[in-house]
Amino acid sequence: MDAVNPARPGGRREALVKAAAEMFFEQGYAATSIDAIIARAGGSKRNIYNEFGNKEGLFASIVSENAERILSALRIDEIEGRDLRETLMVFGTRLMDGYMSPALIGAYRTVVTEADRFPGLVRSFYEQGPGRATARLAEVLEEARDRGEIQTDDCARVAGHFVGMVRDNLHLQVVLGLRPPPSEDETKVAVASAVQVFLRGVRADPAG
Amino acid sequence: MDAVNPARPGGRREALVKAAAEMFFEQGYAATSIDAIIARAGGSKRNIYNEFGNKEGLFASIVSENAERILSALRIDEIEGRDLRETLMVFGTRLMDGYMSPALIGAYRTVVTEADRFPGLVRSFYEQGPGRATARLAEVLEEARDRGEIQTDDCARVAGHFVGMVRDNLHLQVVLGLRPPPSEDETKVAVASAVQVFLRGVRADPAG
DNA sequence: CTTGACTGGTAACGTCCATTACCATATCTG
DNA sequence: CAGATATGGTAATGGACGTTACCAGTCAAG
């Protein structure tokens, strides 16, 4: 019953999800037609309606099934470095790369546009991605504070500051299509600058 | 010839622009139909097509005619304070209020969505708003650096850091509809925290 | 009054698209 | 093979909507 069609190694559902994800996140929900998805994925519309009910169901499925993959760029659980500066450099670089990846830029545009239509999806999207990354950084900062390296009242808040500094106006410009994602060198310079300001801003020393 | 119709004090064009701006920025470009605009503004479709050519022309007109008003929240040209900290507090508060205003949140959503269709509009939108505010802050920081109050290689870059810290994850959450705009108190706390970290991060002192 | 330009209202046209229906295969179960 | 089920392909249905057309009423100018 559940055996995969021998002539189709991947299975219809996977092909549909893959094609739909690409097209939704590239062109947006409204601009992507069912016909176009079928044209790319192969098969027939019956497949979509049997499997997902309707277009909204397809969209909900592809977001939840692709969120993990797309947001894995922001899934920064193990951040280690010789010291806090290196840790922040690594974290900031991964954060920048994740936010600037075409996949996440496309997903961001789409999710912003359809926020009203799919409130539940938007919440899980935020919590799995930006929220989780910020929370993880806050934990790292807690540890640094316990070690006496930094000084702050609210680690979660300053974690947000750091994330904001890294995202900067760069993310806005890329989302608006005003400039391409930064190169590796540009990323390094931008992150290093953010780390420098941040570290001086929060480090523990007796300067009132 | 140009005399206003006595029965219609505001003039058709103004009413159309006003209604179209509200609806485009609330619901987005695609989700706003010509019929709906007419239903709110009164008049007939002939008005729109005589005056603006088509829907895209109407959209372009309302963006350019409303950009100044909407972005005036970010038009922070005169920033003065007793000292740099107070100046940054004032600037940051106005920045936060501007970014979180419903008008700008709506415009942001719409512009992000239609970035591909109207690249010229997007550019002027950015340059009149976020770009201009950041550039103005950079000038202020240049002066502070000349006075020896802060120490940095690149005032434009750290101005971006500050703007990013203020925008933080808050902007993202509001844009996604995950939380309401911050209250006056929340704004004050958030900005004060950003100013604190930033000032410590860039101020001139001999701590290598 | 007459002409002309504009306006309001409504209907028509053409297109796009989500959704459903229909038909012909092909695969699986027995 | 019989029958059930899923699949591919294509066409039909129905609605939404941008755009244009048509008709009647209003106002300004001569």
Residue whose C-alpha is closest to residue B106's, from B23, B18, B17 = B23
3-state secondary structure A14-76: HHHHHHHHHHHHHHCCCCCCHHHHHHHHCCCHHHHHHHHCCHHHHHHHHHHHHHHHHHHHHCC
Say whether B22 sits in a helix, a strand or coil.
Answer: helix
Number of H helices, E strands in chain B: 10, 0
- What 8-state DSSP symbol labels residue B72? G
Mean pLDDT score, B8-30: 84
CATH number for the domain running over A72-202: 1.10.357.10
CB < 8 Å from B in window 74-113 of A:
109, 111-113
Tally of CB atoms within 10 A around A105: 18
> Which residues in chain A are classed under CATH 1.10.357.10?
72-202
> Which residues in chain B are classed under CATH 1.10.357.10?
69-202
Structure tokens at B139: 């000038």
Residue whose C-alpha is closest to residue A88's, from A147, A132, A150 = A150
> Which residues in chain B are classed under CATH 1.10.10.60?
12-67
Is B47 a residue whose pLDDT tops 70? yes
CA dihedral defined by B45, B47, B52, B58, rounded to 10 degrees? -60
CA of B5, C1' of D27: distance in angstroms? 8
CATH number for the domain running over A12-68: 1.10.10.60
Mean pLDDT score, B74-101: 88
Largest CA distance in chain B: 72
Nearest CB to B130: which of A163, A172, A177? A172
Q: Which nucleotide is nearest to B38 (CA to C1')?
A: C8
Tally of CB atoms within 10 A around A83: 11
Residue with tokens 């963006």: B63
Residue whose C-alpha is closest to residue A21's, from A68, A82, A53 = A68
Say whether B203 sits in a helix, a strand or coil.
Answer: strand
CATH superfamily of B12-67: Homeodomain-like (1.10.10.60)
B168, B171, B205: best mutation site toward chain A, by most A Cβ within 10 Å? Answer: B168
Which amino acid makes up residue A67? A
Mean pLDDT score, B30-54: 93
Q: What is the pLDDT of residues B127-176, one digit of tens each?
A: 999 999 999 999 999 999 999 999 999 999 999 999 999 999 999 999 99
Structure tokens at A194: 């953010």
Q: Compute CA B178 distance to the chain's CA centroid, rounded to the nearest angstrom.
A: 20
> Mean pLDDT lowest for which of A159-168, B77-86, B107-116, B155-164?
B77-86
Phi, psi angles (nearest 5°) of residue A203? -70, 150
- What 8-state DSSP symbol labels residue B10? T
Give the per-residue pLDDT at B206.
57
> Which residues in chain A are classed under CATH 1.10.10.60?
12-68
Task: Please state which of the four CATH numbers 3.30.460.20, 2.60.120.10, 3.40.50.1820, 1.10.357.10 is assigned to the domain occupying B69-202.
Answer: 1.10.357.10
| B96 class by beta-carbon count within 10 Å (0-12 exposed, 13-18 middle, 19+ buried) | buried
Mean pLDDT score, B17-29: 93
Q: What is the pLDDT of residues A156-203, one digit of tens each?
A: 999 999 999 999 999 999 999 999 999 999 999 999 999 999 999 999
Across the A:B interface, residue pairs with CB atoms under 8 Å apart total 128
Q: Compute CA A174 distance to the chain's CA centroid, rounded to the nearest angstrom.
A: 14
Give average pLDDT by consecutive 10-residue segment, chain A, 208 residues: 38 86 92 93 90 93 86 76 91 95 93 92 93 94 95 97 97 97 98 98 74
Residue whose C-alpha is closest to residue A196's, from B187, B201, B164 = B201
The radius of gyration computed from the CA coordinates of chain B, to the nearest angstrom, equals 21
A116 shares contact with chain B (CB less than 8 Å): yes
Cβ–Cβ < 8 Å for B174, B103: no
Structure tokens at B134: 């950041």
CA of B56, C1' of D17: distance in angstroms? 14
Give chain B's length: 208
Question: Which of residues B70 and A173 earns the better pLDDT score?
Answer: A173
A158 shares contact with chain B (CB less than 8 Å): yes
Q: How far apart are CA B178 and CA A67, in angstroms?
A: 17
Q: Give me the half-sphere count of Cα atoms (radius 13 Å) on the Cβ side of residue A1.
A: 0
Residues linked to residue B150 through DSSP beta bridges, in sequence order: B203
Give the per-residue pLDDT at A64.
87
Tell me the shortest Cα–Cα distance from A163 to chain B, in angstroms. 7
Give the per-residue pLDDT at A204.
86
